[in-house]
Each structure stands twice: as structure tokens, then as C-alpha cells.
A and B are shown apart, each in its own frame.
Chain A
Amino acid sequence: MDIEANDIAVRFGRTAVLEGVRFTLRAGEMVGLIGPNGSGKTSLLRILANLREPDAGNVRYGGRSAADLGNRELAQRVAYLAQAGNVHWPMRVETLVALGRLPHRRPMQGLDAADRAAIERAMVECDVIPFRSRTMSEVSGGERLRILLASALAVEADILLADEPIAALDPLHQLQVMELLRMTARQGRGVVVVLHDLALAARFCDRLVLLAGGGVLAEGPPSTVLCDEHIATAYGVEVVRGERDGVPFVLPWTLCSNAGHSKT
């Protein structure tokens, strides 16, 4: 399933955060949503997840509107991983992952074989099997994030929208999660991931969308989006560049000395 968003506007009071944003996601594609703090990444992601109404514009899921699809079908087809997701009760890890199957369940019914298989798969993929029977108060921050990711993957939706899933992780698990997201996309699903780490964004995403200054500043393959000019305009920093195995990477290095940095 594809997502197409047209002419999206987000306003907080009189402040326009986004205007006229167009965004598409194709099946099998991993798109990185990048941009400075306050550039509207989370707002756009929440609009794509139908958690927020855009102040203008519309979103189509495989050509249909969210109202057309209905809550249930939308929930089955679009999974959302919230930023720094809190877990309010210390449930057992596997119980929590099983929550991802809620969109597929009929009232008053327990988990069926397909549900159990999906939960197992998600737990294996996210490497949470070793602590599956612990409670949420007994896991570390990184483990908690992988558990939440597992519950989002357990939905087995066509589309996964993840808001900063690697912000709290150590380098090993950052790489693991990014690999996992890319693998998810390779299975034919669409993945949108909000990121701050430009190097990982460049390395793992098929396409980047750079939000800055109230709209899409640049969009396309990482190598074209992450040029010096765009990075200076969006973030106000200069980067060092390198290359490994033909994959370019950037590393933020210093603040820009002169203007050209448009404050968002």
C-alpha cells in the first residue's frame, strides 16, 4: 500500500510549522524523515498515521481516505511507533508485544495461531526473546525500545511509521534496529522513520525527506539531499564527509560561521 499526502499544512495557533507539503511512500521503500528540532517531523508522521488532522491537505492510503478505510482496517495496515513511548503498567514483555495484535482481534476472542506466530516473529526479529517473560520494570531503556518496536512489528502492517526509534539506543542496537527496519522494507512494506542521525539516515534509507523552514527543503536519494548547502540551511552546521564501501556518510562537525542558516 502506498501513502500519498498532498498540500499538508500544520499550524500551531498562528505559527505555521508546515505549509504545502507533499509526501509519498511506496511499498518496499524506506524513507527517512529528517530536519532540525521543531521542523514538523513528528507532526507530519502523526498526520500520516492519522493521529492528527492536517490543518490543510489530505492523506490517501492506497488511494483511499482514512475515513474510507475505517479505524480497524487502517490500524491493520499502518503501524505507528511513538517517540520515547512510555509504558504505564509493568506488564510482561510478551503480553506487551501481543498488544500489537489488537487490530486483528475480534471482541471477546483470545490470540489465535496466526497472532501467536506474528508475535513470535516480531520478538525474534527485535531480539527480545531472551527477556520475553520479564516485566517492563525489569528491562533497560534500549530493551524497552526494542520491545515497543516488536509490538509495532507484530501488527504486520503494510506500513510502519517510526518516530525516532534509535534515539535511546547504543551503537550496536542502533545498527540492529536500522537493519531491521531496512529488512522490513525489503519484505515489501513501506517504512517511514524520523531520524536525527544523518550518517545512519544516509546509510540505511532509500530516500530522505528534509524538512526545514516550514516545508520540504530537499527530497531524494541521500547523496543529493545531504549536500553541504542543504545541511547548512537546515541545521546551521558544517559536516565532514567520508565514504566506506561506496556508501557516503556525513558527520556534523562545526557550526556554520556565516548566515545561510534559516531558523525554523
Chain B
Amino acid sequence: MTRTDAVEATGRRYEIPYGSLVSGLGALVVALFVASLAIGYLPVDLWQGFGDALNGEWTAPALVLVELRVPRALLGTLVGFSLGLTGAAMQGLLRNPLAEPGIIGVSSTAALGAVVVFYFGLSGLFLLALPLGGVVGAMVATVLLYGLAGRGAGTMTLILAGVAINSFAGALTALALNLAPNPYAVSEIVYWLLGSLADRSLLSVWLVLPLMLIGWALILMSGPPLDALTLGEDTARSLGFNVGRLRLQLVAGTALSVGSAVAVTGSIGFVGLVVPHLLRPLVAQRPGRLLLVSGLGGAALMLAADISVRLLPVRPELKLGVVTAIIGAPFLFSLIYRLRAEE
């Protein structure tokens, strides 16, 4: 296969009509959601569990479903959607296929924000303190990143900015662990940082949901200006878009969705890198159309990964963040290798 053939294959041959793509991915998410409810360590009769829960009878199946499975599946969907969506948004804004909340340091500063809240005992003050800590952390990273790497920055600058932000956030998180008053707090923070959907309550879902929804809305509204940005900032502006507002909208949207996601599940990396990359050819490379599609793809990937973690015969259960990193990092290698070849 020549290079042109390869480009053609990725650029066009796999394109799928937008409507079919969205509904197909939507159906996949629903199927995986149901599978996530059905699969677990105890065999549970879904119908019985739902019936009992609706009747207010707290039988074992009802409890497993409502306390364990539903929050887990919901969080998987929400967090996966957030990560896929923000990956696509950041890649569109920075016009770089390597932009991803984890790589560019947004996830780690969100984690730092949540750790700070946790560490200073602020999480007890009010319910939203932890997710808000994550949001503020993520916001700081996105603003820093934009300052460091700017618009349409080269791959090198972007990655270096990410390295700088990641190491600083890592250092401050380590500092918090270093100064932690007791070993119990340390192990709790460390385990949380590994990233997992297990054992989160329904309450945490309701806590982050509004923040995420606002974040999603901000990002999903920005399709046309993101398409226009393909031609550069000046041209996008000449087509009538306010690029400053777009930037603010995407930075705020990313901070809200990733910040709140990380505050609940810890950092789960690479979803935002892998998903937009795989789906981009299917939407004919249009950054605007990639948004919703990547969100759905992210939700599907997250649910699938979380199901496989439960099915793997490894105990204690592998943390989801560990699994996505083990799969995602080699993917990053190959992507960098290919970008290098193109440059």
C-alpha cells in the first residue's frame, strides 16, 4: 500500500454517515451499560433487582444493583463521555492530535486540586468541595497550557508543556503525600489516584452530573467554530467566529467535565487520546463532528474497559486507570512515531 493509498483509506474510505455513526455508537453505549449492570462478582437477577428497588424492598439483588452496579455503570458512561469529548475538544482547539487531558496535564492538576481539598479537610465543608477542587485544578492547567503552548503550537511545545505541568502537579501531589499526617490517608489518596469506577456511591454521581452537563454543553455547542479553526485563527475569525470566546468555552468546558470526573474516579488516562484518534477518519476529519462521536466512543470504551477489569481473573481487581495507561501508552508511542515520520 502506498502512502497515498494509506491516506485515502484513513481519510475517506471509512467515512460513515454522521447520523448512523451517532446512533450506532449510542446503541453500543446502551448495550455496554446493560452489560455493565449484568456483569459482576455476584450473579444478580437484573429484573428482580430493579423490581425490588422500585418497590422499596431492599433485597440483596436490589442493594447490589443500586449501591454498586448502577453508580459504576453511570460513572463509566459519564466519565468516559467526558474524557472522549474533552480529548476531541482539546485536539480541535490546539489543532494537535496529541492533545489529551492526561498528556497535557489537565487530569493530574485536577487530581491535585482534589487532593488539596481532601488534604486540608475541605471536603467535609460542603458536598461539592471535592469536585470543585478538581475543576479548579483542571482550569489552572488548561490556562497554563494555553499560555505555554499557545494556539496551533507544534507537537514538541505541547508535549513539553504537558511534561512541565504534569511534573509540577505530580510534585505537589507528592508533597501532600509526604506531609500527610497518617499512613491511612496516604494509602487512600494513592489508591484513589490510580483511577477506578469501583465503590463510588450514587451520591457522587449526582454531585458531578450538573458540572459535567454544563461542561458538555459548552463543548458540544462549539462544533462550527472548531471546524472553522481548521483554517487557522484569522480565517476562523473572518468567518464570523469569536475565537477568544471559543477558547474560553472549551477551556471552561474541559475543566468542568474533566475536573469533576477526576475528582470522583481519580485519573484515568489516554481515553481522550485514543478515542478521537480512532474515530476521526469516520467523520471525515471534521473536528466539530468529532465531538459528540468521541464522547459516545469514550463512554463505550470506558464501560468496556471497566467490564473487562471485572472479568479478568486478577485479584485484587486491577484499577481502571492502570489498565488504560498500559494500553494507552504504547498507542501514544505509535502516534508519536507516525507524526515524526510525517514531519
Contact = CB atoms under 8 A, between A and B. Distances in A.
Interface string A60-93: 0000000000011011101111100111111110
A183 B95 CA distance: 35
B284 A82 contact: no
A75 B11 contact: no
A173 B309 CA distance: 59
A135 B241 contact: no
B31 interface: no
B285 A79 contact: no
Contact of A51 (B231, B234, B284, B287): B234
Contacts of A91: 230, 284-286
A54 B240 CA distance: 19
A130 interface: no
B247 to A, nearest CB: 15
Given A105-B224, A107-B224, A75 B239 contact: yes
Interface string A90-125: 111001100110110101000000000000000000
A89 B230 contact: yes
A72 to B, nearest CB: 5
Contacts of A229: none
Given A90-B285, A91-B285, A138-B4, A78 B238 contact: yes
Contacts of A78: 238
A137 B239 contact: no
B328 interface: no
Category for how many chain A residues contact B: 35 or more
A43 interface: no
A contact face: mostly helix, strand, loop, or mixed: mixed
A26 interface: no
Interface in B226-268: 227-232, 234-235, 237-242
Interface in B263-292: 280, 284-287
A135 B240 contact: no
A92 B237 CA distance: 21
A100 B12 CA distance: 21
A95 B284 contact: yes
A95 B287 CA distance: 12
Given A92-B12, A99-B230, A135 B152 contact: no
A148 interface: yes
B240 A75 contact: yes
B239 A82 contact: no
B185 interface: no
Interface string A19-53: 00000000000000000000000000010010100
B239 A103 contact: yes
Contacts of B232: 82, 85-86, 88
Which residue, of A86, A99, A148, has the highest number of chain B Cβ atoms within 10 A?
A99
B230 A100 contact: no
Contacts of A71: 240-242
A95 B230 CA distance: 11
Most chain-B Cβ atoms within 10 A of its Cβ — which of A89, A92, A151? A89
Contacts of A81: 235
A82 B95 CA distance: 17
Contacts of B286: 89, 91, 95
Contacts of B240: 71-72, 74-76, 102-103
Contacts of A75: 238-241
A143 B237 CA distance: 23
B339 interface: no
A133 interface: yes
B281 to A, nearest CB: 10
A89 B235 CA distance: 15
A148 B286 CA distance: 16
Contact of B8 (A49, A80, A105, A135): A135
A85 B234 CA distance: 9
Most chain A beta-carbon neighbours within 10 Å: one of B12, B224, B227, B234: B234
Interface in A150-178: 151, 155
Contact of B7 (A79, A85, A96, A135): A135
Nearest to B225: A102
B4 A79 contact: no
Contacts of B241: 71, 75, 102
A49 B238 contact: yes
A96 B11 CA distance: 13
B8 A138 contact: yes
Contacts of B287: 89
A79 B237 CA distance: 10
A96 B8 contact: no
A151 B238 CA distance: 12
A155 B240 CA distance: 11
Residue from B12, B228, B231, B285 with most neighbouring chain A CB atoms (10 Å): B231
Contacts of A148: 231
B285 A85 contact: no
9 closest Cβ pairs, A-B complex = A75-B240, A80-B238, A135-B11, A88-B95, A89-B285, A103-B240, A71-B240, A91-B285, A102-B239
7 contacts: A86-B152, A86-B232, A91-B286, A95-B286, A96-B230, A99-B228, A105-B224
Given A75-B241, A78-B238, A87-B230, 9 more contacts: A85-B232, A88-B95, A89-B95, A89-B286, A90-B7, A91-B230, A102-B228, A105-B224, A137-B11
